[in-house]
Amino acid sequence: MAKASTQKKTSLEPSEVFCAVGLLMPSDDMRDLVTDQTGVKLLKWASSDGDQISRKITNLDNRFKAMFKKAGTLKRSDDKRKDMVANIVAGFSGALGSKAFMKAMNTKVDVATAVYMTGATWPSNVDIFRMKDQSSGFDYNSSDIVVQAGSKKFFGISLKKKPTAKSPDPTIINKAFSTFLDGDDKNKKALQDLNKVRQQYFADIVKKAQKDGIINVRGLESMSTEEVWNKKLKKPNGKDTVALINLKGFNEKDDPIELTDVPGTVDQGTIYDKPTGRMGLKDYINADLSKKDNELFKGFNEIVQKNAEYFANSLIDMVLKVQLDTKLSAKNIGDYNFEFALVTGFADYKQNSKDENKDKLNLEKAKFIPLHTILCGLANLAGNKKPYKMELDTAKKEKANAAKVFYQLSRDGVPILDLELRYKGDFKSMPQFFATITDEFQTQLNEKCLVTKPDKKPNETAILNKTLYAK
């Protein structure tokens, strides 16, 4: 097998690590540990037996090794304690869900043969299942954990968490707007339009901010759109710079430097504080982005609608991994068997600040959606040959009053994905799509996709089941 890349794919979450540990221990042991509502039993376990089990995980980095050792020392007054217990519960929930998923694939596993973390690298034993685009760095196989059962069976787990079963579902993916346009010659015009729209908007809004007294930058009025976009200002230390459009604060003096809302000094250079109640440039821009008729998002939407079917198909593929089996077959993985599922664990722990006897801890049932279930649901919708649609949700935008826009991706009147397009803090970077599976599509999966799929061996038939829950 090929040597794994050392390029970081994503940051590992503590809940993912505890899920991996849960896969390497009997389920009854997990259930026993959560009988103590205070979480004390869980933390003691984490610093002792849990620490020992974690050493069996392939590719566990040192910061998580330290996390296990420190778990038993956390005090109730420490916020880290509450988070730690919740992450253990979410991890255990995810482990139970993963075991239920494997059982649905006709592979009953209580203690896994091996567990591999794929956060920073893909270990050599499972690197054959990785599908990384060398130009963009995008990992198509989004498994956070790969579980081995026996010598030939492997299960990819994309693990998410939420506080309780009734909480809103977490986003499955976040990808930059440009990701869908890069690398395809047919999309060069759309990418050029995208860059033109955002450069023009930020040049205009920054100049408007200066007229409104938010900033004061020498020569701004005479700068071209490109000059504003590329403009960098020096910080007081004389070394570091910041993009003009990313200023957090304002200029009180006529100086070409960043004046931020960060208090204190930088290398003995004075940083000017933003007075209480005074709006800074970033706040000013975000307020404009929150308007229902914002010009930037209007321009973005025009590009989306011109390429709606392309964006829709790309999002469906990236979020739901519809070509995973095909891509794996093309890699010629031999007689290995690889199955994939989206798994959501629940971090259901509430610590009472006054009375530990009133703590509430519940190992909630983890839900999972196998890839084959998703493929079944999409196939049902494809029967009438209608295209996917990307519809702007103006009502949700107006109600949210936030610096983002909302889309719903649907087919034949059935919503499939709820989408948000927003910035993550850096205006120089592309905005990102965030996606969740709609309740309507999950209902369809539950009702229509109880089917079977022949596997490579007659005795290894995988069940294409509906969304399932660990018992």
Confidence of residue 278 (pLDDT cuts 50, 70, 90): low
**Residues ≥6 apart with Cβ < 8 Å to 243:** 231, 232, 427, 428
In angstroms, the CA 108 to CA 98 distance is 11
Dihedral over alpha carbons 345, 350, 356, 361 (to 10 degrees) = -30
Q: State both tokens at 14.
A: 């503590």
Q: Which of 169, 114, 167, 172 is nearest to 143 (CA)?
A: 172
Answer yes or no: is pLDDT of 273 > 70.
Answer: no
Model confidence pLDDT, tens digit, residues 13-53: 999 999 999 999 999 999 999 999 999 999 999 999 999 99
Note the pTM of the prediction, 2 decimals.
0.83
Torsion region of 334: left, alpha or beta (phi above 0 gives left; psi -120 to 50 gives alpha): left
Average model confidence (pLDDT) across the chain? 83
Count of alpha carbons within 13 angstroms of residue 181, beta-carbon side: 20
- Give me the mean pLDDT over the 340-359 stretch: 93
pLDDT at 453 (0 to 100):
47
Read off the pLDDT of residues 449-470 as tens digits, 9 standing for 90 and up: 753 444 444 333 333 333 344 4
387/178: higher pLDDT: 387
pLDDT of residue 30: 97
The Cα–Cα gap between 323 and 325 comes to: 6
Taking CA 324 as the corner, what is the angle to CA 321 and CA 328, rounded to the nearest 5 degrees?
Answer: 165
Q: What are phi and psi of 69, to 5 degrees?
A: -65, -35
More confident residue, 210 or 208: 208
pLDDT 10s digits, 391-439: 999 999 989 889 999 999 999 889 999 999 999 889 999 999 999 999 9
Tell me, what's the pLDDT at 277? 53
Give the pLDDT confidence score for residue 134 in this predicted structure: 64
In this prediction, what percent of the chain has a pLDDT beyond 90? 56
Residue 131 burial by Cβ neighbours in a 10 Å radius (0-12, 13-18, 19+): middle
Q: State the average pLDDT over residues 303-326.
A: 90
Higher pLDDT, 16 or 180: 16
Q: Give 67-82 pLDDT, tens digit per residue.
A: 998 999 999 988 899 9
Closest CA to 95 of 17, 13, 173: 17
Is residue 137 very low, low, confident or very high in pLDDT (cuts 50, 70, 90)? low
Sign of torsion over alpha carbons 313, 318, 321, 325: positive
**Amino acid identity of 256?**
P
Q: Residue 344 pLDDT more than 60?
A: yes
pLDDT digit string, tens, across residues 79-134: 899 999 999 999 999 999 999 999 999 999 999 999 999 966 799 999 999 988 76
Residue 4 has pLDDT above 50, yes or no: no
Q: How many CA atoms lie within 13 A of 385 on its CB side?
A: 0
Is the pLDDT confidence value at 162 over 60? yes
pLDDT number for residue 242: 82
